[in-house]
């Protein structure tokens, strides 16, 4: 069987009774949309992060988009983020009518270079959008200082960092609001699409609840636009609720997988993940770097190992974002990394056998490239 960077079938076998129990519970409850599982998950997810409010939505992209809108971001505003991210981060900003503004990332840990943010602030800047990429957090203190100085909002993109910590604070508790995805591959993944935005600001939470529900505060009366139908599905919410209780266990497993890679690959010339000061990494993806990336990936195919690149194209170089006006060379570190990074198999239920197969195949391949 081909070895993939991610697979959920082992997890499903292990947790099948619980998952099917969740489905059956919802189907028998008589409440298929916005029932007790959504509200239960929302409060338990908020509590896990030590924030006051959680609002379930249909996916991570809309968690970001509605999060921005709930913070008052709209046409004419600028939002500062990175180009080394999943394209949905930028799609969400664009979807509000605001303009994404990019800063480069750091070569060591691939995260937002916060030292470049001050120079990117203009009178139109409304919000800073740090992406806690690959499973570890952006350096938040300088961003918080800039936000306070310039009266800006902070929305954290936590789609890859469920449970990550930064100087002891949990990802999602540091900004004015934080957006999560529960796409199946994520550290906390549903069995389909899902997302949530969390906040400790009651007014932002109230805005989010209206935004995901057509702009209504109550049936059937619209109080604000633009509205959306962006509800979290009741079945997915019940599955997430049960998986949230196992999240800390998933994190431990991911860290154990990361340690095994670090030991097994220590003597190769791969650049392994570097953990920024104060961070507890949750390894959504295990990203390594090598100048001969493409040849390595090609050679591993003969070992039946299929790897992934997160991400092969910096967002600012995509034709869909040409209108933003970034030329090649404008974000040099991001562009260089995109040609060198690749991801090794990483998920909580990854078996030791499969991981050892990857380590030995990689070690062999690296001797020849």
Ligand X SMILES: *Cc1c(COP(=O)(O)O)cnc(C)c1O
Tell me the closest approach of the beta carbon of residue 340 to ligand X, in angstroms.
20
166 vs 362, which CB is nearer to ligand X? 166
* Alpha-carbon span 111 to 129, nearest angstrom: 12
Regarding 195 and contact with ligand X (CB under 6 A), the answer is: yes
Tell me the closest approach of the beta carbon of residue 29 to ligand X, in angstroms.
25
Tell me the closest approach of the beta carbon of residue 112 to ligand X, in angstroms.
12
Tell me which residue has its CB nearest to ligand X: 60
Site for ligand X in 242-281 (CB under 6 A): none
60 vs 95, which CB is nearer to ligand X? 60
Regarding 86 and contact with ligand X (CB under 6 A), the answer is: yes
Regarding 286 and contact with ligand X (CB under 6 A), the answer is: no
Tell me the closest approach of the beta carbon of residue 128 to ligand X, in angstroms.
15
Regarding 105 and contact with ligand X (CB under 6 A), the answer is: no
Q: Do 37 and 237 meet the contact criterion of CB atoms below 8 Å apart?
A: yes
Q: Do 359 and 306 meet the contact criterion of CB atoms below 8 Å apart?
A: no
Q: Dump the DSSP string for 255-270.
A: HHHHHHHHHHTTTSS-
Regarding 100 and contact with ligand X (CB under 6 A), the answer is: no
Q: Phi/psi class of residue 75: alpha, beta or left (left: φ > 0; alpha: ψ in -120 to 50)? A: beta
69, 83, 160, 207: which one contacts ligand X (CB under 6 A)?
Answer: 160
Tell me the closest approach of the beta carbon of residue 208 to ligand X, in angstroms.
16
Regarding 188 and contact with ligand X (CB under 6 A), the answer is: no
* Alpha-carbon span 164 to 307, nearest angstrom: 24
CA 359 from centroid of its chain's CA atoms: 26
Regarding 61 and contact with ligand X (CB under 6 A), the answer is: yes
69 vs 160, which CB is nearer to ligand X? 160
| Among 57-65, 76-84, 214-222, 315-323, the segment contacting ligand X (CB under 6 A) | 57-65
54, 56, 67, 88: which one contacts ligand X (CB under 6 A)?
Answer: 88
CA 255 from centroid of its chain's CA atoms: 17
85 vs 173, which CB is nearer to ligand X? 85
H/E segment holding residue 105: none
Q: Dump the DSSP string for 137-201.
A: ---HHHHHHHHHHHT-EEEEE-TT-TT-EETTEETTSSSSEEEEE--TTSSS--SS--EEEEES-
181 vs 197, which CB is nearer to ligand X? 181
Tell me the closest approach of the beta carbon of residue 88 to ligand X, in angstroms.
4
Strands 153-157 and 177-181: parallel
Site for ligand X in 123-142 (CB under 6 A): 131
11, 15, 77, 157: which one contacts ligand X (CB under 6 A)?
Answer: 157
C-alpha distance from residue 245 to each of 76, 171, 180, 199, 204 (Å)? 41, 17, 17, 21, 27
Closest C-alpha to 34, from 245, 239, 238: 238
User: What residue ranges bind ligand X (CB under 6 A)?
Assistant: 59-61, 85-86, 88-89, 131, 157, 159-160, 181, 183, 193, 195
């Amino acid at each position: 069987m081909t070895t993939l960077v991610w697979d959920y079938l082992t997890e499903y076998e292990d947790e099948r009774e619980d998952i099917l129990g969740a489905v059956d519970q919802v189907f028998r409850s008589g409440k298929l949309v916005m029932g007790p599982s959504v509200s239960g998950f929302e409060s338990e997810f908020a509590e896990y992060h030590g924030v006051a409010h959680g609002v379930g939505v249909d996916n991570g992209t809309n968690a970001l988009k509605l999060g921005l809108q709930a913070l008052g971001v709209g046409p004419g505003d600028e939002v500062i983020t990175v180009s080394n991210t999943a394209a949905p981060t930028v799609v969400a900003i664009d979807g509000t009518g605001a303009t994404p503004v990019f800063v480069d990332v750091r070569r060591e840990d691939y995260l937002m270079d916060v030292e470049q943010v001050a120079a990117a602030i203009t009178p139109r800047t409304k919000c800073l959008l740090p992406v806690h990429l690959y499973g570890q957090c952006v350096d938040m203190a300088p961003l918080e200082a800039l936000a306070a100085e310039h009266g800006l909002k902070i929305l954290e993109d936590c789609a890859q960092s469920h449970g990550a910590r930064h100087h002891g604070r949990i990802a999602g508790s540091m900004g004015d609001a934080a957006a999560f995805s529960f796409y199946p591959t994520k550290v906390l993944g549903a069995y389909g699409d899902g997302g949530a935005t969390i906040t400790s600001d009651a007014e932002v939470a109230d805005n989010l609840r209206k935004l995901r529900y057509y702009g209504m505060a109550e049936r059937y009366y619209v109080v604000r636009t633009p509205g959306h139908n962006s509800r979290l599905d009741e079945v997915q919410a019940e599955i997430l609720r049960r998986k949230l209780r196992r999240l800390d266990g998933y994190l431990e497993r991911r860290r154990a997988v990361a340690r095994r890679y670090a030991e097994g690959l220590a003597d190769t010339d791969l650049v392994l993940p570097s953990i920024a000061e104060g961070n507890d990494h949750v390894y959504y993806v295990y990203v390594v770097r090598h100048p001969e990336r493409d040849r390595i990936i090609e050679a591993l195919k003969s070992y039946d190992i299929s790897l992934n690149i997160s991400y092969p194209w910096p967002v600012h170089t995509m034709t869909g974002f040409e209108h933003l006006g970034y030329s090649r060379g404008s974000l040099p570190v991001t562009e260089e990394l995109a040609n060198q990074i690749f991801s090794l198999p990483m998920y909580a239920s990854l078996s030791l056998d499969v991981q050892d197969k990857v380590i030995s195949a990689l070690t062999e391949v690296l001797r020849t490239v």
